[in-house]
């Protein structure tokens, strides 16, 4: 496998691992952990009343419809990106499927950006509310009411939950960009390999068939040329001379015209600069190309006009 293919495969595997870690760290994944794995509450801290308990992050997510929908969309987008990463890493993927991967990633990226933009104002609002409450008073100041302390803790938990979802969205955006680059690079590698890959049966079938057809093609061209010359001489030698001399004269005239245009341009420009600009180089290249091609096409056009008129 080429070196670039190994690099693309490493990028895809790394993205898959990052997505797995992000998915494991989501509120839904943490909600599915057994109770035994949760940190035990310290026996020195008295248990709070049910109505005064601080909601965990997954409770905050499930308690808000907009946040819950965005979290569910993140899980769906993560699965789709993992599937596309496997498609890119699989060498058995057809070129047609690989061609559709960048467009699918672009559509996913658009959905992620739209969802992230809808949720960002909620985080700003929560931060503003938390800022209005202010920090918790220290030991030198009077204690605040339990309701205020509980409200601050709830807002802090909501800020952590929403900020975590937005960071997951940022990770997915980075993954879509990197996977798009990996898919395009793999398509480029396949195209390059196809250019330099040997043609099946080139020496056994293709070249022998082409060489075998050369005499027949040459014979048909010579026969057509002979028939045309015979027809031209039957109409008079003057027509043959016109067909030969006038196109050549037209080609020479066109070539001289291009040269004169170049000379006039050089005179108008004055003395040539020591280092010509890219525009001057481009104009010179165009004039050189016209000096070579225009006389030939002019001669052929004149030849065609005379031949069709005769």
Q: Who has greater pLDDT, 13 or 137? A: 137
Between 42 and 297, name the one with better pLDDT. 297
Q: In which band, very low, low, confident or very high, does the pLDDT at 114 lie, cut at 50, 70 and 90? A: very high
Instruction: Give 200-254 pLDDT, tens digit per residue.
Output: 665 666 677 778 778 888 888 788 777 766 776 676 666 667 777 888 888 888 8
d(CA 238, CA 245): 10
Q: Summarize the confidence of residues 89-95 as an average pLDDT.
A: 87
- Count other Cβ atoms within 10 Å, centred on residue 87: 19
Lowest mean per-residue pLDDT among 128-137, 184-193, 204-213? 204-213
Q: Is the pLDDT of residue 151 over 70?
A: yes
Tokens 């992000």 belong to: 22
Average pLDDT over residues 170-190: 91
pLDDT of amino acid 174: 93
Average pLDDT over residues 17-23: 55
Q: What is the mean pLDDT of residues 39-51?
A: 37
Going by pLDDT thresholds of 50, 70 and 90, the confidence category of residue 9 is: low
Q: Which residue has the higher pLDDT, 192 or 265?
A: 192
- Return the minimum-mean-pLDDT range out of 54-68, 153-167, 184-198: 54-68
CA distances from 231 to 227, 243, 301, 310 (A): 6, 13, 20, 11
- What is the per-residue pLDDT for 51? 40
Q: Which residue has the higher pLDDT, 262 or 97?
A: 97
Nearest to 8 by CA among 183, 172, 174: 183
| CA pseudo-torsion sign 58, 59, 62, 67 | negative
Please give the full DSSP string across 8-55, using - where no structure is assigned: HHHHHHHHHHHHHHHHHTSHHHHHTS-GGGSPPPPTTSPPPPGGGPPP
Q: Report, as an integer, the average pLDDT of 17-45.
A: 45
Q: For the chain, give the mean pLDDT.
A: 75
Q: What is the pLDDT of residue 241?
A: 72
Confidence label for 11 from pLDDT (cuts 50, 70 and 90): low
Q: What is the mean pLDDT of residues 136-142?
A: 74
Residue whose C-alpha is closest to residue 54's, from 178, 161, 212: 161
pLDDT value at position 260? 84
């Amino acid at each position: 496998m080429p070196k670039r293919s190994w690099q693309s495969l490493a990028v895809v595997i790394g993205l898959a691992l990052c997505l797995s870690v992000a998915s494991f760290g989501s509120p839904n994944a943490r909600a599915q952990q057994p109770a035994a794995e949760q940190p035990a509450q310290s026996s020195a801290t008295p248990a709070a009343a049910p109505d005064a308990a601080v909601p965990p992050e997954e409770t905050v997510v499930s308690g808000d419809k907009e946040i819950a929908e965005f979290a569910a969309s993140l899980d769906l987008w993560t699965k789709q990106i993992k599937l596309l990463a496997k498609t890119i890493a699989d060498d058995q993927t057809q070129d047609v499927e690989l061609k559709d991967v960048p467009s699918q990633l672009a559509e996913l990226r658009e959905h992620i950006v739209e969802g992230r933009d809808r949720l960002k104002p909620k985080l700003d609002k929560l931060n503003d509310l938390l800022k209005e409450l202010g920090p918790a008073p220290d030991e030198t100041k009077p204690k605040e009411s339990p309701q205020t302390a509980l409200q601050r803790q709830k807002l802090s938990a909501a800020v952590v939950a929403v900020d975590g979802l937005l960071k997951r969205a940022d990770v997915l955006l980075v993954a879509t960009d990197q996977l798009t680059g990996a898919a395009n690079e793999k398509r480029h590698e396949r195209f390059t390999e196809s250019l330099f890959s040997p043609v099946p049966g080139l020496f056994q079938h293709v070249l022998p068939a082409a060489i075998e057809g050369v005499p027949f093609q040459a014979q048909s061209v010579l026969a057509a040329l002979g028939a045309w010359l015979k027809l031209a001489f039957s109409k008079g030698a003057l027509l043959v001379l016109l067909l030969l001399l006038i196109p050549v004269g037209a080609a020479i005239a066109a070539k001289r015209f291009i040269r004169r245009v170049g000379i006039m341009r050089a005179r108008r420009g004055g003395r040539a600069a020591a280092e010509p600009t890219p525009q001057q180089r481009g104009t010179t290249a165009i004039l050189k190309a016209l000096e070579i091609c225009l006389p030939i096409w002019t001669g052929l056009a004149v030849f065609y006009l005379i031949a069709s008129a005769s």
